[in-house]
Structure 1
Amino acid sequence: MREGEKANVKAFEEAAPVRRPAATGMPAVRLVVADDHPVVRFGVKNMLMSEPGFEIVAEAEDGEEAITQTLEHEPDVLLLDLQMPRLPGLEAMRAIMSKSPRVKIILLTSTISTQQIIEALQIGARGIVLKESVAGDLTESIRAVTSGDYWIGGERVVNLLQALHGLMAKAAAVPERKTFGLTPRELEVVQCIVEGCSNKDIAKQFIISEETVKRHLSNTFDKTGVSTRLELALFAISHKLVAPID
């Protein structure tokens, strides 16, 4: 964690006391919060703890830790960032669903494609909440999924099959950009390569280790069939995988 982030989190913790869930006659919803940004984790945790009926039992800062904490604490709900270091959110969700299918997973994300929504729901996600809508949607989405429904597109969904049919029709009408199976984080790394960044620069930008950067590059080379950074940059530009460089 960067020094500035540590200071911000410490300042927030000192300024905002944690309130425990009030007694409501019903067991509190037990949650694990998994996001690689500590300020986001604290904000979500503080918001939920200010409401009655929620209990944060653990936190995680990467995909692998999300799996470990979820399997250890067996929460009712896992709030999982889609773009996580070490293991992307969808891959972490696959691992969790194979071992603990009871947990209800709500994905938190800044952006998500229609195809990713379909894939997430097929894996077992119960909800998708955009981070820009967390303040207004999060508590309602948790209550929706714990009652057996889904939360998609900012609203409660009862009939998942009907929602999936609608999403698939939308995906067919607007073809998704071909990404060769690259994850959102791998596409971000490719963008950095095109911009001429070193592994150290990329690691610093995304707050991950250089070993993780090397792993992303190795996966990207395998998926695109290239073997050097230059070939990857040329491949990315020719296939419009990255934003144009000014």
Structure 2
Amino acid sequence: MIRVLIADDESMVRAGVRAILETDPGIGVVAEAGDGREAVEAVLAHRPDVVLLDIRMPRMDGLEAAAELRRAAPEVRTVVLTTFDEEEYVARALEEGAAGFLLKASDPRELTVGVRAVADGAAYLSPRIAQGVIARLREGGMGRERRARDRLDGLTAREREVLALVGEGLTNQEIAGRLHVSEGTVKAHVSAILLELEVGNRVRAAILAHEAGLTRG
């Protein structure tokens, strides 16, 4: 069972998100919070697998909460769930260690897909967000690609393979199946990649894979 905590200052939004998530028998909502500070306290009390954070909340916004949770509970996977898709918000969410970014206006099925992907160790961006990120990467041109490729020099051939698959959005389990290795081996490779590239999470590693031209998209 994937244990989820929902943080949003609107009770009707929390109820709607809970209703969507609980259509999946493998997902359970263990707690709710109405502001960022309450969200941090609830995460520390309940230790969910995934926390869904709205951006604009009283006392502490979702991005500040994500930053605090990265320090206080790094094992908990954070997903920003918001109505705002401005570039600044996306960039800050990734910098604060968010493993996913979902829009409230998206297809409800995206919510369960995203939660499952993040809980399984993958990164997940709403398709609309992902398209914008990839478009900005393409605008960067060859200079960006060259710099990204230079950063990959310290990776082994196998780590490059794993990074490419991370860039395609595969989970650890899917990568293990593709490369015919154990899931534990994939986790070890991913940890080594994040350390070598000095990126804080899989989303930023995936972006670097796109910049370096490792992915098919």
Q: Same fold (TM over 0.5)?
A: yes
Letter in 1 for 2:207: A
Aligned counterparts of 1:93 and 1:57: Cα–Cα separation in 2: 18
Structure 2 unaligned regions, length at least 5: 131-167, 171-201, 212-217
Question: Could you tell me which residue of structure 1 aligns to residue 55 of structure 2?
Answer: 82
Question: Could you tell me which residue of structure 2 aligns to residue 125 of structure 1?
Answer: 98
Q: What whole-Å deviation, never above 9, does each CA across 1:102-143 have from its counterpart, x for those lacking one? A: 000110110132232122112110000000015131000011
State whether residues 29 and 76 of structure 1, in contact with CA within 8 Å, keep that contact through their aligned partners in structure 2.
yes
Q: Does 1:110 align with 2:154?
A: no
Residue 107 of structure 1 aligns to a residue in which SS? Answer: strand
How far residue 147 of structure 1 moved from its aligned partner, in angstroms, is 1.4
Letter in 2 for 1:157: G
Question: Could you tell me which residue of structure 2 aligns to residue 150 of structure 1?
Answer: 123
Higher RCO structure (Cα 8 Å, ≥6 apart): 2
Residue 70 of structure 2 aligns to a residue in which SS? Answer: helix
State whether residues 50 and 76 of structure 2, in contact with CA within 8 Å, keep that contact through their aligned partners in structure 1.
yes
Instruction: Note closer, same or farther for the CA distance 1:104–1:89 as it changes in structure 2 (3 Å cut).
Output: same
How far residue 165 of structure 1 moved from its aligned partner, in angstroms, is 7.3
Question: Could you tell me which residue of structure 2 aligns to residue 56 of structure 1?
Answer: 29
Residue 133 of structure 1 aligns to a residue in which SS? Answer: coil
Aligned counterparts of 1:162 and 1:70: Cα–Cα separation in 2: 26
State whether residues 169 and 206 of structure 2, in contact with CA within 8 Å, keep that contact through their aligned partners in structure 1.
no
How far residue 166 of structure 1 moved from its aligned partner, in angstroms, is 5.9
Instruction: Note closer, same or farther for the CA distance 1:164–1:83 as it changes in structure 2 (3 Å cut).
Output: farther
Q: Runs of 4+ in structure 1 displaced over 6 angstroms?
A: none
State whether residues 33 and 42 of structure 2, in contact with CA within 8 Å, keep that contact through their aligned partners in structure 1.
yes
Instruction: Note closer, same or farther for the CA distance 1:91–1:164 as it changes in structure 2 (3 Å cut).
Output: farther
User: Identity across aligned pairs (percent)?
Assistant: 38
Aligned counterparts of 1:111 and 1:164: Cα–Cα separation in 2: 24
Which structure's CA Rg is the greater one?
1
Question: Could you tell me which residue of structure 2 aligns to residue 93 of structure 1?
Answer: 66
TM-score by length of 1: 0.53
Residue 105 of structure 2 aligns to a residue in which SS? Answer: helix
TM-score by length of 2: 0.60
Query: Which of the two has greater helix per residue?
Result: 2
Question: Could you tell me which residue of structure 1 aligns to residue 207 of structure 2?
Answer: 163
Residue 78 of structure 1 aligns to a residue in which SS? Answer: strand
Structure 1 unaligned regions, length at least 5: 1-27, 168-246
Q: Does 1:38 align with 2:20?
A: no
Letter in 2 for 1:62: D
- The number of residue pairs the alignment matches comes to 140
Aligned counterparts of 1:166 and 1:33: Cα–Cα separation in 2: 31
